[in-house]
Structure 1
Amino acid sequence: MATLLHLDTSLNGDNSVSREVAASFRRAWEEQHPEGSVIYRDLSAEPIPHLDGAAYYTAFTPPEERDEEQRRILALREKLISELESADAVLVGAPLYNYSLPSALKAWLDHVIVMGRTASAEPTTVAGKPVTVVTSRGGAYGPGTPQEGKDFAVPYLTMVLGTAMGMRPEFIVPELTLAHSVPAMAGLIDKAETSRAEAHRRAEARAKDLAGLLTSVA
């Protein structure tokens, strides 16, 4: 049975476009995998603590040498890593906040990135795992726009998820999500709706494509 790890990070609840588009992916995924399972974490509603020095350095102690306190310290980190390693595919809702990714997602990444295991290993324990990132943007950051080059979320996640961890990230980017609420952007509402609809279409198609790919591999 296929397992999907689904992370949401938007603080906007039901008004979140990244959550909405990710939900389209998940529905399509579950239709293709009715007997499968979903590991879900809402990192905004239930944030995980930032990685501290004890958890970071204890990870470098060989498992057989860890004492009870060290095992306790690493329990959450190990659980998060195991969830990632056990998943067949990963879905991440990651809206663009202040030109970068939500801090809740960065905290999760800090826990699951372990050099020599999930990153910087040949191969990593998550190598080849497909990860779909829905990264919504309030404005437009594409080529030729005034904000071009100011999105630091996609480049960062491309490097971390792809280059460092060896996974296969694909990005779905609904833009202009603030057009309905910012008067100065009212003239962009049609473009915003088009972008949103295309994001839903791509999310559903991506989920179905991955289902076929995983079936063929199995």
Structure 2
Amino acid sequence: MRLFRLDASIFPAASASSEIADRVEAEWLAAHPEGTVTRRHLGTDPIAADAWVQATTAGSASEEQRTAEQSSALAQAVALAQELQNADAAVLAVPFYNYGVSQHFKTWVDLVIAGAGPTTPVLKGTPTVLITTLGGGYGPGTPRDGWDHSTPYLKRIIGDLWEADLTVIKRELTLAAATPGMESLKNLGAQQHSDALNAAVSAGRVLARI
């Protein structure tokens, strides 16, 4: 059995999303101790920002006409797509940055699409847990309701385009305990933390049944 895990936090030592992903992975490994975990950490090992351009332009040139950079980027794109296609289950831990997804995560998505093709469902039917963490609150009735431009995109790509069997764990208010002005949200943030960790255990057990 093969689990693919992706992390995208730029603060790996204090990552809220990785903490939740650890719980999911632990449950999967408990059921599949001989299983293989393929890890990719975009925060500590980011993909070059121009890789998507190089891979995409390589597709419109013959093999003989491609530059070394184009050939390398295209090979990387194919390899990234295969990592997902080879997985029996997946865990994607994606923090919320600047009201959307980070540049390094978007580059990864774009390269997977370049490597697999724009309509290829690379996670078709694959049990996948998407973990997304947000420092503030963005739900209905909050001052920044509608400012979460990340979660809808993530669901569209992973669930709709890539056709994963998707479970979403979303934890908001990760900064409530340590940010001046958010003191009144501390208890709610703590509850969201607890709920997310419990959801991770449940989701990990579902992944483990495959």
Q: Tell me the TM-score normalised to structure 2 length.
A: 0.89
Q: What residue ranges of structure 2 are gaps of 5+ in the alignment? A: none
Q: Does 1:141 align with 2:117?
A: no
What CA distance in whole angstroms lies between the structure 1 residues aligned with 2:175 and 2:122?
A: 38
Matching of residue 160 in structure 1 with residue 164 in structure 2: no
Give runs of aligned pairs for residues 35-50 of structure 1, distance below 5 A: 35-50=34-49
Paired letter, 1:104: H
Aligned pair in 2 of structure 1 residues 127, 197: CA closer, same or farther (>3 Å)? same
Query: After the TM superposition, which residues 59-78 of structure 1 pair with which residues of structure 2 at under 5 Å, given as runs?
Result: 59=59, 66-67=63-64, 69=68, 71-78=71-78
Match for residue 3 of structure 2?
4
Matched, 1:195 2:187: no
Count of matched residue positions in the alignment of Structure 1 and Structure 2: 206
Deviation at 1:92, TM superposition (A): 1.1
Whole-angstrom CA distance in 1 between matches of 2:95 and 2:16: 8
CA shift, 1:66, in A, is: 3.5
Which residue of the partner structure matches residue 29 of structure 2?
30
Q: 1:60 to 1:161 in 2, by over 3 A?
A: farther
1:131-165 deviations in Å (ceiling 9; x for gaps): 21111111111122222111011111111112222
* Partner in structure 2 of residue 103 of structure 1: 103
Structure 1 vs Structure 2 CA RMSD: 2.0
Contact between 1:10 and 1:102, CA under 8 Å: does it hold in 2? no
Question: Any idea what SS the aligned residue of 1:41 has?
Answer: strand
Per-residue CA deviation, residues 104-154 of structure 1 (Å, 9 max, x unaligned), is: 111110110148x45424xx3431222211111111111222221110111
Residue identity in the other structure for 1:183: P
Equivalent position of 1:181 in the other structure: 178
Residue 71 of structure 1: CA displacement? 4.6
1:73 offset after TM fit, Å? 4.0
CA distance in 2, matches of 1:54, 1:108: 13
Contact 2:52 2:107 in 1 (8 A): no
Question: Counterpart of 1:20?
Answer: 19
Q: Secondary structure at the match of 1:135?
A: strand
TM normalised by structure 1 equals 0.86
Moved over 4 A (4+): 67-71
